[in-house]
Structure 1
Amino acid sequence: MARKTATNAQEILMADFQALVSDTERLLEHTASLAGDQVDELREQIKESLLKARESLEEGKETLEARGQAAMVATEEYVQTNPWQSVGIAAGVGFLIGLLATRR
């Protein structure tokens, strides 16, 4: 479920950034030839795209924070219910890191 939500958020974010890039490219192409109201209208569209992109970034940030908090709680619960296994895993990981560090 969390992966689907994260994937959807990433897809929405990418679509928003693609729209932003497209609007910016149009602005660059037409700035020289457009005057007055047309430039203002195009700038408003770009501002709207930027606002949508910022909102998507905020939603993604909140989702990542929630997932990180859930992972932290799950890890803490596991360590508290299985302290010796946790010590064994930490020792094994430390041993592997030590092996890799001494090879260089």
Structure 2
Amino acid sequence: MEKLSDQFDQDQLINEFKAVVADAEALIKATANSGDDKLSDLRARAEESLGIAKARIMDIQTEVLAKTKAAAKATDAYVHENPWRSIGFAASIGVVVGLLISRR
């Protein structure tokens, strides 16, 4: 099973990539009125690349969401199969957190 920190890293990467795509789209729109042929060609290639990148990031986001749902279902199944073990684990975590808070 994938580490939870890896998933947060993926989520953070997705959000940062979306910000870059939005900035690039704004730059393309800002240069839309320029009449230079080289700039128009570059703008067309950038728009195509952004379209591909947006499609890829949506695929990655869908994959991350599916993995998150699978992890939630596995956790739910484990808790239903082992309720007392789950309660003991949660109580142990609560004690540790309580001790850490009380030391401050």
Q: Which amino acid aligns with 1:46?
A: A
Structure 1 residue 96 and structure 2 residue 61: aligned? no
Give the alignment's TM-score, normalised by structure 1: 0.66
Q: Give the Å deviation of 1:79.
A: 0.4
- How many residues are aligned here? 83
Deviations 1:47-68 (A, max 9, x none): 1111122112101110110000
Inter-partner Cα distance in structure 2 for 1:36 and 1:45: 14
After TM superposition, give the deviation of residue 2 of structure 1 in Å. Answer: 7.1
What is the deviation of 1:41?
0.5
CA distance in 1: counterparts of 2:66 and 2:78, whole angstroms:
18
User: Which runs of 5 or more residues in structure 1 are unaligned?
Assistant: 25-30
Distance 1:75 1:83 in 2: 11
Residues 4-83 of structure 1 aligned to structure 2 (within 5 Å): 36-83=36-83
Q: Extract structure 1 runs of 4+ deviating beyond 2 A.
A: none
1:62-82 Cα shifts (integer Å, max 9, x gaps): 011000000000000000000
Q: CA deviation at 1:36?
A: 2.3
> Are the structure 2 counterparts of residues 37 and 57 from structure 1 closer, same or farther at C-alpha, using a change threshold of 3 Å?
same
